Amino acid sequence: MTRNDDTYDVMVIGAGFAGMAAALFASAQGLKVVQTGSTGGIDFSTGFIDLMGVHPVAEGKRWRNPWSAIEAVVRDFPKHPYGLLSTDEISEAIDIFTRFLVEQGLEYVGHQERNTCSLTPAGTIKRTYRVPKTAWNGSVALGQKAPTLIVDFHGLKGFSGAQLVETQKHHWPELKTVRIQFPGGRGELYPEHMAWALADLGIQEKMIAAIMPHAVDVEYIGFPAVLGLNDPVKIVNHLEKLSEKQIFEIPTIPPSIAGPRLRAVFDRGLPSLGVRTHSQKMVTGVKVLDNGMFEFSVGTGAAMLPVTAKKAILATGRFFGKGLRADRKKLVEPVFDLSVVQPEERGQWHAQEFFAPQGHPVNSAGIEVDERLRPVDASGRPAYANLHAAGAILAHHDWMRMKCGAGLAIATAYKAVKELMR
């Protein structure tokens, strides 16, 4: 085992939206931060930052104003994690997070008081709070039902302009589509390869030349989100110059390029803020030392590293992130063996119907916390005085159906950092 005697102020366990946000907020407070974690929801996300979109989920009621939606959900479910935060805290968290993305070259935009309607790859409309700037013109075009061309590519799976137009045809008559050959690309195409290829100005020019005969009568051109990995705004600006049209991106189905764009921002941005990152490494064990600090085992085998930290933030997600595990009879939290709020027995984990409008009880399982976001034991007392939790691992919400995924992760990470500073 390699020795590493540095003691950190805080260990952030998790590298999804909550873990990235917690590391960012903690380092901004001047704390000495270490972070571990592997692939999470952020890598598969559409890049949209949802704050609160649907409540009650059984009715599928969609909200224009996310703040009113939060007020309603907290009124109806006082234990929802948003009930632990003020609207100012939520708002500050999202602002700091998106400002960091902008500083790192990944611009995000949105309205302060309302959700933005955005196109999904299926052609449906999603209400979300912040979108990458490269998607913004799509929302404008959608709002105006402006003459718009959706471009897709031979060989690119999971994105069909025809499906998009078919879904929208009754609402948006001036939406049309064309499928073209990607310059230099034959056979199966992948968003990441296309994004790399589009860094080349020659490829951009050839692509626009192939599209223009179909775009004479449109104001907007929409592409699947493949317009560059590190500098999509620059590429969109260049394509606008070449085409003299407004350009936008629509997320592709996961895994899309939006996730790697976000991951890349944090991979380069967090170390430059002094965060020590152990990427693609998991916490495999934890010991509480006599002085109350944690000693974590990070990684496995000969590469295992002990990391000591005064405090920790658990941001390990649910099943997808590996923050919760399902045994035959119960759900467990594998790092600290914390008690997990869950249905009484396995037979109650799921509703009878897969698409049950109210969702499945298992999707609201997670860790119960006190008002300072410290996980509590069965008697309701903090399991550890210096452990806080954030993100999807928190109980009493179904982010997927409520459309509050990234927003809740970022906001609770902000609150967790604030509380551990006290």
Ligand X SMILES: Cc1cc2nc3c(=O)[nH]c(=O)nc-3n(C[C@H](O)[C@H](O)[C@H](O)COP(=O)(O)OP(=O)(O)OC[C@H]3O[C@@H](n4cnc5c(N)ncnc54)[C@H](O)[C@@H]3O)c2cc1C
Minimum distance between the CB of residue 18 and ligand X, rounded to whole angstroms? 3
Note whether 286 binds ligand X by CB under 6 A.
no
Pick 147 or 271: Cβ nearer ligand X: 271
Q: Work out which of 11, 49, 54, 74 binds ligand X, going by CB under 6 A.
A: 49
Strand, coil or helix: what is 387?
Answer: strand
Note whether 40 binds ligand X by CB under 6 A.
yes
Q: Work out which of 9, 32, 44, 79 binds ligand X, going by CB under 6 A.
A: 44
Pick 11 or 235: Cβ nearer ligand X: 11
Angle between helices 201-211 and 232-243 (to 10 degrees): 50
Contacts of 137 (CB under 8 A, 6+ apart): 220, 246, 247, 248
The span from the CA of 289 to the CA of 384, in Å, is 12
The span from the CA of 259 to the CA of 281, in Å, is 19
Note whether 185 binds ligand X by CB under 6 A.
no
Note whether 52 binds ligand X by CB under 6 A.
no
Note whether 416 binds ligand X by CB under 6 A.
no
Q: What is the gyration radius of the CA atoms in the chain, in angstroms? A: 22
Minimum distance between the CB of residue 217 and ligand X, rounded to whole angstroms? 32
Structure tokens at 263: 């991951």
Q: Work out which of 10, 15, 236, 416 binds ligand X, going by CB under 6 A.
A: 15
DSSP annotation of 273:
T
Sole window of 3-11, 12-20, 340-348, 378-386 interacting with ligand X (rule: CB under 6 A): 12-20
Q: Work out which of 315, 324, 369, 373 binds ligand X, going by CB under 6 A.
A: 315
Beta strand pairing call for 131-132 and 148-153: unpaired
The span from the CA of 13 to the CA of 387, in Å, is 11
Minimum distance between the CB of residue 393 and ligand X, rounded to whole angstroms? 6
Separation in Å, CA 355 to CA 58, 122, 351, 362:
11, 18, 9, 14
Q: How many residues bind ligand X, per CB under 6 A?
A: 38
Structure tokens at 110: 């949105």
Pick 137 or 363: Cβ nearer ligand X: 363
Q: Work out which of 320, 326, 343, 351 binds ligand X, going by CB under 6 A.
A: 320
Angle at 240 between CA 234 and CA 241, to 5 degrees: 90
Minimum distance between the CB of residue 143 and ligand X, rounded to whole angstroms? 20
Minimum distance between the CB of residue 225 and ligand X, rounded to whole angstroms? 12
Sole window of 33-41, 102-110, 355-363, 372-380 interacting with ligand X (rule: CB under 6 A): 33-41
Which residues on adjacent β-strands are paired with residue 54?
A: 62
Structure tokens at 171: 């609402």
Residues in contact with ligand X by the rule CB under 6 A: 13-19, 36-42, 44-46, 48-50, 254, 282-283, 315-317, 320-323, 335, 391-392, 399, 405-407, 409
